[in-house]
């Protein structure tokens, strides 16, 4: 199957109170913060520049969601453990591309980028046009 799009789902909610709570949690107790995808791709306030450049270099399109946004747009997939990266295939099916457990083991943005790049083989992606 050909991958048409990657869906990155962060384990946060998009409400002011939740975002503030998450921000404080990341600062005060990073070891127990539940969104490794956030830790790997964001600095204190904004997306890491290296991550943004990496995303532009990918041969497929990417979408980004907080878990509540994802649940609204894809309710049939809301039971996944977040954070997660899902691959959407040409036939409309979704498969786990990077699991929460896999991301939990990563300590650097380079590790995340390597994992994404190694799973995007030329024969498995539909090129962005």
Q: How far apart are CA 104 and CA 34, in angstroms?
A: 9
So what's the pLDDT on residue 106?
95
Radius of gyration of the chain (CA): 15
Backbone phi, psi, residue 121, to 5°: -75, 145
The residue extents of the domains of the chain are: 3-120
Q: What is the DSSP letter of 27?
A: H
pTM of the model: 0.86
Backbone phi, psi, residue 59, to 5°: -80, 5
Contact 119, 60 (CB under 8 A): no
Q: What is the pLDDT of residues 5-27, one digit of tens each?
A: 999 999 888 787 877 777 777 77
Q: What is the pLDDT of residues 74-104, one digit of tens each?
A: 999 999 999 999 999 999 999 999 999 999 9
Count CB neighbours of 40 within 10 A: 19
For the 3-120 domain, the top CATH level (class) is alpha beta
């Amino acid at each position: 199957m050909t991958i048409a799009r990657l869906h990155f789902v962060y384990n946060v909610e998009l409400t002011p109170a939740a975002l503030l709570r998450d921000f404080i949690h990341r600062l005060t107790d990073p070891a127990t913060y539940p969104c490794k995808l956030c830790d790997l791709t964001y600095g204190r306030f904004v997306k890491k520049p290296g991550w943004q450049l990496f995303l532009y270099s990918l041969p497929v399109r990417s979408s980004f969601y907080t878990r509540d946004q994802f649940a609204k747009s894809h309710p049939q997939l809301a039971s996944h453990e977040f954070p997660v990266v899902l691959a959407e295939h040409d036939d409309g099916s979704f498969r786990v591309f990077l699991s929460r457990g896999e991301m939990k083991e990563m300590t650097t943005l380079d590790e995340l980028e390597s994992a994404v790049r190694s799973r995007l083989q030329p024969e498995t992606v539909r090129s962005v046009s």
